[in-house]
Amino acid sequence: MDKNWKIETLAVQGGYEPGNGDPRIVPIAQSTTFKYDDAQSVADLFDLKAPGFFYTRLANPTVDVFERKVAAMEKGVAAVALSSGQAANAFALMNIARCGDHVLAGSALYGGTVSLFTNTLKKNGITVTTVLPSATEEEIEKAILPNTKAVFLESLANPALNVADFELYAKVAHRHGIPLVVDNTFPTPILCNPFDFGADIVTHSTTKYMDGHATSVGGIVVEKGDFNWANGNFPEFTEPDESYHGLIYTRDFAASPYSVKLRVQLVRDYGMPMMPFNAFLTNLGLETLHLRMERHCANALAMAEFLSKHPKVSWVNYPGLPDNPQYPLVKKYLKGASGVLCFGVKGGSAAGERVMNALKIAAIVVHVADVRTCVLHPASMTHRQLSDAELVAAGVSPDLIRLSVGIENIDDLIADFDQALNQA
Ligand SMILES: *Cc1c(COP(=O)(O)O)cnc(C)c1O
């Protein structure tokens, strides 16, 4: 793999270099374990003295290809693939913050991330507070506490569709010697590379566009590679890890200390690795990601324009529409606004529900960002566990319908929404 390849070439061929006579397609190493000729080889692997595979919880050849490809597409140095996007966000932060620490987040967040922050991380002693995505530099600065260890954002929030002003958040985070972590699920590296704008760690729910076919739940954490973990704020990176005979991550794995630590501490102890068959399927998805994202964006823009003019529609939120308040940030950070848009129907939630029920091509499913058009009502589904105040903070109004525009023919899709709206 050549680091100078453009992203489309990386999407198709990155991460896997078959030798003479090897399978052209990345093979599925559906094996929990690997065979060695002598005990010392295995001991060296356990001590992290030699690279290699010994148990699929920690690393697997198929998953390794997937990790290399995504790392290259995000312009990072290393990545760790996990069993879900939830695992990716949890580990991305737990690798930096521990009991007694604080994380600052932009408040427009996926429902699962809100509950991770307000329940499980909190129970484990990591507190998360939020600022509005539109916060000014001063407001972000004021929200940083002496024990803040990371700033967390969604690049294109699910489902509020706010675009994070990365550079502003990165500037404040770096002034305090802490990293910026960005969940880049919706744009994918095709539409946005957060590392270009100051992010230090990128996460994905690969369940969404990366897979793209709704076959595999997965997640990944990518490390940019130039954050200074030895600045005094992160003793776990610079002090000996007694669980590895005194290994020091910044010294012994200087190129990617964050990824190595995440894998050998968190994946070792909590598990949640990506499985080889899921890595195989998600890698197939990556091979067409650049083509699919183009069509998702084009179809969503046409759908947003159609809905904006429809007499039964009360509002449309698609950041790719020039009159959308997020549009300047889309122009600054993204190459397209993805296939997800939100709208409300005149008559509120009840009318919206009738429209969802009347759709024939678009289905009601708890999913987003795959080839098939689908709709979901976050307030009664993905964000159901949130309080009213949390819903407002996450950018979810009661009548909001989240529409994930697929790559079917746009005329068919518009006709479907037209007939469904006319029954509202
Ligand atoms: C879906 C999603 C997640 C959670 O990912 P899972 O793969 O469902 O665990 C996290 N962040 C965002 C932005 C998502 O859309």
Ligand 1 close to Cβ of residue 183 (< 6 A): yes
DSSP string, 25-48: SPP----SB---SSHHHHHHHHTT
The rounded distance, in Å, linking the Cα atoms of 399 and 152 is 27
Determine the pLDDT at residue 324: 97
Q: What is the pLDDT of residue 206?
A: 98
Atom of ligand 1 nearest to the CA of 207: 7
Q: Residue written as tokens 């889309």?
A: 330
Whether 264 and 58 have beta carbons less than 8 Å apart is answered as: yes
Q: In this structure, are residues 344 and 355 in contact, taking their beta carbons and an 8 Å threshold?
A: no
> Under CATH, which number does the domain 7-285 receive?
3.40.640.10
Cβ(370) – ligand 1 distance below 6 Å: no
Helices (H) and strands (E) in the chain, counts: 19, 12
Q: How high is the pLDDT of residue 379? A: 82
Tokens 């002090």, located at residue: 239
Per-residue confidence in pLDDT tens, the chain, 424 aa? 887 899 999 999 999 999 999 999 999 999 999 999 999 998 988 888 888 999 999 999 999 999 999 999 999 999 999 999 999 999 999 999 999 999 999 999 998 999 999 999 999 999 999 999 889 999 999 999 999 999 999 999 998 999 989 999 999 999 999 999 999 999 999 999 999 999 999 999 999 999 999 999 999 999 999 999 999 999 999 999 999 889 999 999 999 999 999 999 999 999 999 999 999 999 999 999 999 999 999 999 999 999 999 999 999 999 999 999 999 999 999 999 999 999 999 998 889 999 999 999 999 999 999 999 999 988 888 788 888 888 887 788 888 999 999 999 999 999 999 999 998 8
Mutate to test the pocket of ligand 1, among 89, 107, 207 (most ligand atoms within 8 A of CB): 207
For ligand 1, the distance from its centroid to the CA atom of residue 89, given in whole angstroms, is 9
HEC string for 236-303: HHHCCEHHHCCECHHHHCCCCHHHHHHHHHHHHHHCCECCHHHHHHHHHHHHCHHHHHHHHHHHHHHH
Q: Which is nearest to 76 in space by CA: 230, 262, 239, 231? A: 262
- Give the whole-number percent of the chain exceeding pLDDT 90: 87
Rounded CA-CA distance 202/153 in Å is 10
Instruction: From the CA of 154, give the closest atom in ligand 1.
Output: 13
pLDDT score recorded for residue 378: 85
Q: From residue 57, how far is each of 27, 34, 266, 275, 276 by CA, in Å?
A: 18, 12, 11, 8, 10
Q: Which one, of 315, 372, 310, 363, lies nearest residue 342 by Cα? A: 315
pLDDT tens figures, 290-325: 999 999 999 999 999 999 999 999 999 999 999 999
The domain defined by 290-421 folds into Aspartate Aminotransferase, domain 1 (3.90.1150)
* Closest residue by CA, ligand 1 atom 7: 85
CA 131 to ligand 1 center in whole angstroms? 20
Question: Which of 82, 89, 208 has most ligand 1 atoms within 8 Å of CB, for mutation?
Answer: 208
pLDDT score at 58: 96
Q: What is the pLDDT of residue 392?
A: 81
Per-residue pLDDT tens over the stretch 66-87: 999 999 999 999 999 999 999 9
pTM: 0.97
- Bridging pattern class, strands 127-131 and 401-404: unpaired
Using CA positions, which residue lies closest to atom 8 of ligand 1? 85
Domain ranges of the chain: 7-285, 290-421
Pairing of strands 148-154, 313-317: unpaired
